[in-house]
Each structure stands twice: as structure tokens, then as C-alpha cells.
A = this chain, B = another copy of it.
Amino acid sequence: MNERVGSEAFGAVVDEGIGEEIHALASRLYPICRSITGDGVRETLAILAEHIALERHEVPSGTSVFDWTTPQEWTIRDAYIADGSGRRIVDFRKHNLHVLNYSQPIRARMALGELEKHIHTLPEQPERIPYRTSYYAGNWGFCMAHKAFAAMEDGEYEVVIDAEHRDGSLTYGEYRHAGATDETFLLSAHICHPSLANDNCSGLALLTLLARNLARRVTRCSYRFLFAPGTVGSLAWLSRNEDHVAEIKHGLVVSCVGDGGGPTYKRSRQGNAFIDRAMAHIVEHFGEGATIVDFSPSGYDERQFCSPGFNLPVGLLQRSAFGTFPEYHTSADNLDFIRPEHLGTSYRIIMEAIDIVEGDWTTVSTNPKGEPQLGRRGLYAALGGDKAAAQAAMAMLWVLNLADGHHSLLAMAERSGLRFADLARAADLLYAHGLLREADRS
């Protein structure tokens, strides 16, 4: 209805069945044994690249990345503990969580008393295999269900981790969607976890399909989708993109978006950036379970994006917050734990944030003295009896009342308690009737 770029697509993308589609993609990613480096990441990116024009970046091992150095590649071929009879008690081929991720190789026979120093279990969740990593300390180890561990008899075991660390590269993927401006929205999901469905097959699959759908849309902002290993991966990306970091005006780290909890939004370090306000608006209208938490330097890659030298407006979206659900970092974080309906809801939350970023504008009333007469323009529903018409009328009155050049639509939503989408519709209608103009951007 008007010429502002971005707004015409508002609500235009219908995403029926998106939850099922995300779940199906996550299911393909789930079995792959990813780590901070190596072929698991490349295999994952290759699947994502079936949907979007993904660029793959390789950062050579040993590259300085701010205070860090990119690690060697880790290749894991097999890992097991076998008993005296040769039976595999623990078998990497059955579940890739069984091996301490990024473990050193070993091939030895040892007594249980020695071996058990290298075995990680969850005594309080005895059926589940824990997820453990040792990226920087040079350890080897296994993870297993406590119940199976308790059943191990004394004696000697064959212990094999057929892995190697060698120079290669750290791999990450990026997809860019160019908008009318350089104002950039960063969406990021970590790609370094092996078979954990919620953390983060859910985030990888959701962002990939959202990127694919966004490609059909003409946008005001530009978008960058990042699929990188945690910490050193996002730092590598930051170090290679320092010249463009200042263009990032909005950002979300996305993880654990497939369960039924939350949604949980963690504010950026700035605390009241536009993305924080937009997400607060969405989350506050979500209903029961929705939670907003303040920034803290514990979490995912928002820790790097929000480090003091960058201080980007990047928050974290999750359903249940990491560490708060019992399936977290265990073999119970599997494909049954994530559900299409929750993935679909998470998708729509992010799309709503994009709608706000794209659709926010600052209005000026062309009739600022008193209310304009809506009735003679047919803007009040004829009989006015129904509730939807009353809400639409209230949205128009709010927009007109705050159309002073100092309130964007999001600010109006915050003040009125109405939904951004309703105000945006009202503003488009009023604009079409000549009752609003857009404020100067200066």
C-alpha cells in the first residue's frame, strides 16, 4: 500500500507445514557425528546447501583468531570398549555420544579400575548417555549409560578410539540474503554438536528453511545466516568480517527451538536494542511459559557477539533454556524430543521478529489537530458491533494519536499493549487514505 521497501511483503509468506519440514531436515542432520572441526561439519553443510546457496568457508588449522587459535581437525572412525569375550560394551557405531567429543586416540587393554577414570555417566539419569567434550585439554574418554557402566564386571577390557587430530581447517557455512540496505540482521546457529536433536539440529534446520523462504521476499534489511562451530567458529567469522560488523543492527542466536518449553528470550548485552524490544513484544504476547531473561556471559555464541569489543545487538532465542531440561546434553535429546508443532511455532516467532524489523516505521499524522473523521472515509466498520472491528478501530486511534514523528510502530505497540501486526495494518490503511506520511529519517 505504500512504497516503503519491506512492508509490502508483510504477512505474505504463508508457511503451512513448515514445522514438519524443519523436523524432516533435522532428522537428516541428527545422525551425523559433528565436532568443532572435521567432516561432520562439512557433511552437515552439504545437506543445508540443498536448500540455500550456502557458502562454505575453511579456516586453516593454527590460524590466529583474536585470542584463540583454530584447532586441528578431528577424525573419528571407530571407538569401543570390548570385554574379554570381544563383545562391544560401548560402541561408537551405535551412538556417537559414546565417545568423548574431540577425544585423543587410544588403543589399549586395561583393567576396569584404570578405564573407569575415563568413563562419564549420569548416575541420576542411569539410562542416558551424557554428552561430553574435551576440545583443549588433550583427554580421551567414553560416555555411557550409568546402568550399563554399573553392570561392567572387573577384568580387562579392550579400549579403542580410532581417531586422529591433524592439520586441516575449521569449517563454517554462511548464507546471505541481500536487502535494499546494508542494515544487517544476523541469524546464527552452532553446528558443532553431534547427535543432539534440540541442541542444535533444530536451530540448523529452522534457520536453513527460514533462509530459503526469506529468499522469496524483497526486504529492506540484509540478512546473514551463520552456521559455525561454537566459540572459535563464531570468532573466526567475526575476525573475517570485522569491516562489516558495524552493519549488524539486529541478531539472534538460535538453539534448542524444538521442544515445548518457553519460548525463552535472552536479551543482548545492550539490553534494550531494537531486537530486544521486538522480541520482548513477541514474547510478552505469546502467553504462558514465555520468559525474558537478562544477558549473562553464559550461553552460546551471543557471548562472542556481545563481548565488549563488539557489543552487537544479538540475543538468544530458545524454547526451554539450555541446562534447564533433563534431556539437555544427553542421549534423550533425540528426534522424539523435538516436535513439528514446536519447530513451527519457533519459526513463526523468528519470522515475526523479521516482520517487525522490516515493517517498523515512524508515522506523522497529516491531520494532527484532533482526530480525523474516520467515519466519512468508511474506516469505521458500518455497524461497529464486532470485536475485531473494535480492535481495528483502536489500532487506528492509537496510530493516529502517536503519529507525531517520535513513535515508531514498535514504540506504539509498547505503549498501547496492542500487537505490532495490528498497528502495522492500521498504519497501512491510514497511509492509503492519506492520513499518514512517513517521518523524515534524519
Point out residues on A near B: beta carbons under 8 Å: 65-68, 136-137, 231, 234-235, 238-239, 269, 296-298, 303-304, 306-311, 365, 367-373, 375-376, 382, 394, 397-398, 400-404, 416
Q: Which 7 A-B residue pairings sit nearest by Cβ, starting from the closest?
A: A309-B368, A309-B369, A297-B397, A308-B404, A297-B401, A67-B372, A67-B367
A137 to B380, CA, bound (A): 11
User: Could you tell me if B67 and A403 are in contact, using CB atoms closer than 8 angstroms?
Assistant: no
Q: Which residues of chain B have C-beta atoms less than 8 A from A239's C-beta? A: 369
A269 to B239, CA, bound (A): 47
User: Could you tell me if B376 and A136 are in contact, using CB atoms closer than 8 angstroms?
Assistant: yes
Partner of A307, one of B66, B238, B308, B368: B368
User: Could you tell me if A297 and B373 are in contact, using CB atoms closer than 8 angstroms?
Assistant: no
User: Could you tell me if B369 and A238 are in contact, using CB atoms closer than 8 angstroms?
Assistant: yes
Q: A-side binding surface: helix, strand, loop or mixed?
A: loop
User: Could you tell me if B136 and A375 are in contact, using CB atoms closer than 8 angstroms?
Assistant: yes
With A68-B370, A303-B371 as contacts: A365 and B136 at CB distance below 8 Å: no
User: Could you tell me if A401 and B67 are in contact, using CB atoms closer than 8 angstroms?
Assistant: no
User: Could you tell me if A308 and B373 are in contact, using CB atoms closer than 8 angstroms?
Assistant: no
CB distance from A217 to the nearest CB of B (A): 32
User: Could you tell me if B368 and A296 are in contact, using CB atoms closer than 8 angstroms?
Assistant: no
CB distance from A351 to the nearest CB of B (A): 29
CB distance from A320 to the nearest CB of B (A): 20
A373 to B307, CA, bound (A): 13
User: Could you tell me if B296 and A370 are in contact, using CB atoms closer than 8 angstroms?
Assistant: no
User: Could you tell me if A403 and B308 are in contact, using CB atoms closer than 8 angstroms?
Assistant: yes
Q: Which residues of chain B have C-beta atoms less than 8 A from A238's C-beta? A: 369-370
Q: Which residues of chain B have C-beta atoms less than 8 A from A368's C-beta? A: 307-309
A404 to B404, CA, bound (A): 36
With A297-B397, A298-B394, A394-B298 as contacts: A311 and B370 at CB distance below 8 Å: no
CB distance from A303 to the nearest CB of B (A): 6
User: Could you tell me if B373 and A306 are in contact, using CB atoms closer than 8 angstroms?
Assistant: no
Apart from A235-B370, A303-B371, A308-B400, 6 more pairs, CB < 8 Å = A66-B370, A306-B401, A307-B370, A308-B401, A308-B403, A308-B404
With A67-B367, A311-B404, A403-B308 as contacts: A398 and B296 at CB distance below 8 Å: yes
Q: Which residues of chain B have C-beta atoms less than 8 A from A65's C-beta? A: 370
